[in-house]
């Protein structure tokens, strides 16, 4: 992480600038020392002596690979640990770590022995301190000793090859939290608990423990960044701050002064019926697409077009004495440029469906190399209003592609949008899964009589629309093709409602197939359909890494029949 990005995101997320005490980027240091990049090299020393209050990283393991050679990643080989300065005195704290390995963690780990990422314990039985590590299921955990009993909490979410995690301890509330920030998937997973009899320890280590034990081993991989704050940071703020690890550049908002010629006024008069703008005066049904039939008249599709007219009011008008050069101010909003290589590095690149793919199934992927927060947004159903809810970021008039349990819906025929409410007159209910994509464009719809031969459609005003029939998406190349201004529908498609819905923008690639198991994609985000029905991440499919142990078919599914009613009698197997 760059120092200017760190500073900017602390300001953006309202983190106290004085609270950060450690910023190891492994880009500066020498021999046994990793410099704290909050300071310059010279600021670490007093008359050639290393200052403890600058909290440098001290490589005290069996090798010095975390600090030498210094190359932007601290390399840990299970035998290395990096002590955090002379000690960590503040009992409330928050920490972030960006770490990973090109190989699968589960492939590199010793069997049944977890790897420690961060520890402040000085022995297995220590009554003070904690340890954070990775278990053999590639999940992070945090543990401490509650007097003589070990307490372990595991975050039930598989890691990727490269990961950003955070932890925080609020010593006032006695609240310990652990989070995994999966920025490529736009998700944050966390656990939180109140540790009984937890005692702070001053001596902290990155990459392992300072004691030998058969139960643990040191971390094997790379640490790109380690940050430590001397105050706790709440979960929401940590989630927001974690984006900083994936940012390459921030262009601040600014105003640009340009110039242009304008009429110069010399006198003014008030006009009570002047034109002050435009307004919608009505609606008209305008042609959109003409569908040609082999037999019979053409079928025309229309769209609702807004009619506008002048809006009158009081104006002040000037007579002019010619033109002159005047300054014009143009506002340039802030731009956040993400580091695509970092996002790709941390992404889980494999798709795994919840149910096995059969030989007659067909999936279709729209793949993206950048996160798409406008796509696959879940809509919660509010029974008290009898309506599903749009995200507060939705603005009136924006186009959405809506899906009910994966089947596309057409606005006006089944649902309407009123402010942030999706109204269906009781058609949708609490048991439905409603999602939507916010995509620029329009939806056109018409009845379709089915076809036994090729069926031709004049594209007219259609541009990059996806085609749906009875809510199921048709596949380009299989169900239809586009050449020039003509769409050809292949036989035999059934009768029903045909819709043309705006296609997502900036698609990197489109893939179709019916492969089983984990399917590799060179992407960080996606839209997925299976047999024309839109799929939802973490319900219908999951993103996993190449060596993932996750198998959704092994999950215990909810059963409608009672197996055991707690009556303390034996099962009747007979």
Nearest residue to 164 via CA among 143, 144, 140: 140
pLDDT at 302: 44
Q: How confident is the model at residue 95 (pLDDT cuts 50, 70, 90)?
A: very high
- Among 268-277, 457-466, 468-477, 542-551, name the most confident range: 468-477
Q: How confident is the model at residue 547 (pLDDT cuts 50, 70, 90)?
A: confident
Nearest residue to 243 via CA among 351, 373, 361: 373
Token digits of residue 395: 């603005």
Judge whether residue 119 has pLDDT over 90: yes
369: number of Cβ within 10 Å: 17
Antiparallel, parallel or unpaired: β 205-206 and 187-193? unpaired
pLDDT at 212: 86
Distance CA 451, CA 291 (A): 13
Judge whether residue 196 has pLDDT over 90: yes
pLDDT at 366: 97
510: three-class secondary structure by DSSP: strand
- The more confidently predicted of residues 261 and 75 is 75
Distance CA 71, CA 29 (A): 10
Q: How confident is the model at residue 468 (pLDDT cuts 50, 70, 90)?
A: very high
- List pLDDT tens digits, range 163-194: 999 999 999 999 999 999 999 988 999 999 99
Distance CA 336, CA 487 (A): 39
Phi and psi at 512, nearest 5°, equal -130, 155
Q: Is 453 left (phi over 0), alpha (psi -120 to 50) or beta?
A: beta
Which residue in the block uniquely carries the two structure tokens 């197997």?
573
Q: Is 369 left (phi over 0), alpha (psi -120 to 50) or beta?
A: alpha
Which residue in the block uniquely carries the two structure tokens 């606005």?
411
Average pLDDT, the chain: 85
Which stretch of 49-53, 112-116, 414-418, 565-569 has the lowest confidence by average pLDDT?
Answer: 565-569
- List pLDDT tens digits, range 34-90: 999 999 999 988 888 889 999 999 988 887 777 766 666 788 988 889 999 999 999
Contact indicator for 19, 231 with CB cutoff of 8 Å: yes
Judge whether residue 260 has pLDDT over 60: yes
- Which helix (H) or strand (E) covers residue 3, if one does? helix 3-12
Q: Over the Cα atoms of the chain, what is R_g? A: 30
- List pLDDT tens digits, range 319-350: 655 566 667 777 777 788 899 999 999 999 99
Task: State how far Cα 136 lies from the chain centre.
Answer: 26
Domains, the chain, ordered by start:
3-250 (2.60.120.200), 254-335 (no CATH), 350-553 (no CATH)
Distance CA 247, CA 548 (A): 27
- The more confidently predicted of residues 375 and 330 is 375
pLDDT at 428: 81
- The more confidently predicted of residues 507 and 108 is 507
- Which helix (H) or strand (E) covers residue 480, if one does? strand 480-483
Phi and psi at 42, nearest 5°, equal -65, -30
pTM of the predicted structure, to 2 decimals: 0.78
Q: How confident is the model at residue 574 (pLDDT cuts 50, 70, 90)?
A: very low
The secondary structure of 153-166, three-state, reads: EECCCCCCCEEEEE
Distance CA 265, CA 230 (A): 61
């Amino acid at each position: 992480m760059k120092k200017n990005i760190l500073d900017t995101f602390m300001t953006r997320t309202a983190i106290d600038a004085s609270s950060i005490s450690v910023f190891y980027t492994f880009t500066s240091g020498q021999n046994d020392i990793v410099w704290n990049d909050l300071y310059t090299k010279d600021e670490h020393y007093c008359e050639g002596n290393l200052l403890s209050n600058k909290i440098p990283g001290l490589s005290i393991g069996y090798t010095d690979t975390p600090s030498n050679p210094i190359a932007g990643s601290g390399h840990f080989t299970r035998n290395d640990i990096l002590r955090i300065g002379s000690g960590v005195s503040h009992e409330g704290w928050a920490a972030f770590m960006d770490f990973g390995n090109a190989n699968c963690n589960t492939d590199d780990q010793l069997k049944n022995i977890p790897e420690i990422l961060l520890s402040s314990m000085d022995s297995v039985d220590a009554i003070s301190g904690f340890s954070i590590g990775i278990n053999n299921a590639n999940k992070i955990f945090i543990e401490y000793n509650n007097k003589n009993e070990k307490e372990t909490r595991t975050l039930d979410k598989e890691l990727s090859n490269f990961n950003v995690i955070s932890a925080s301890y609020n010593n006032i509330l006695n609240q310990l939290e652990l989070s995994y920030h999966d920025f490529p998937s736009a998700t944050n997973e966390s656990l939180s608990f109140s540790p009984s009899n937890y005692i702070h320890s001053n001596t902290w280590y990155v990459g392992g423990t300072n004691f030998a034990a058969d139960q643990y081993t040191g971390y094997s991989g790379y640490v790109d960044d380690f940050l430590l704050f001397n105050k706790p940071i709440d979960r929401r703020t940590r989630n927001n701050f974690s984006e900083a690890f994936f940012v390459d550049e921030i262009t601040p908002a600014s105003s640009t002064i340009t110039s242009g010629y304008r009429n110069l006024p010399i006198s003014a008069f008030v006009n009570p019926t002047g034109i002050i703008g435009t307004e919608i005066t009505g609606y008209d049904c305008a042609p959109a697409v003409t569908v040609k039939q082999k037999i019979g008249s053409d079928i025309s599709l229309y769209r609702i077009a807004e009619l506008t007219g002048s809006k009158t009011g009081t104006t002040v008008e000037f007579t002019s004495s010619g033109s002159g050069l005047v300054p014009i101010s143009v506002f340039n909003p802030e731009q956040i440029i993400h580091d695509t290589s970092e996002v790709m590095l941390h992404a889980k690149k494999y798709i795994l469906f919840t149910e096995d793919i059969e030989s007659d199934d067909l999936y279709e992927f729209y793949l993206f190399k950048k996160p798409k927060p406008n796509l696959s947004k879940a809509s919660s159903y509010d029974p008290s209003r009898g309506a599903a809810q749009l995200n507060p970021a939705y603005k009136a008039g924006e186009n959405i592609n809506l899906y009910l349990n994966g089947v596309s819906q057409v606005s006006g025929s089944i649902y309407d949008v009123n402010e942030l409410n999706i109204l269906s007159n009781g058609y949708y209910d609490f048991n439905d899964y409603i999602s939507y994509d916010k995509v620029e464009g329009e939806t056109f719809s018409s009845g379709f009589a089915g076809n036994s031969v090729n069926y031709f459609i004049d594209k007219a005003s259609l541009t990059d629309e996806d085609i749906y029939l009875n809510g199921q998406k048709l596949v380009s190349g299989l169900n239809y093709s586009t050449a020039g201004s003509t769409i050809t529908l292949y036989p035999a498609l059934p009768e029903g409602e045909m819709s043309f819905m705006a296609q997502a923008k900036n698609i990197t690639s489109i893939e179709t197939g019916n492969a089983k198991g984990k399917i590799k994609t060179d992407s960080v985000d996606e839209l997925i359909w299976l047999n024309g029905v839109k799929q939802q991440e973490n319900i219908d499919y999951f993103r996993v890494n190449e060596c993932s142990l996750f198998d959704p078919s092994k999950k215990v599914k909810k059963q409608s029949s009672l197996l055991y009613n707690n009556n303390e009698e034996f099962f009747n197997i007979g």
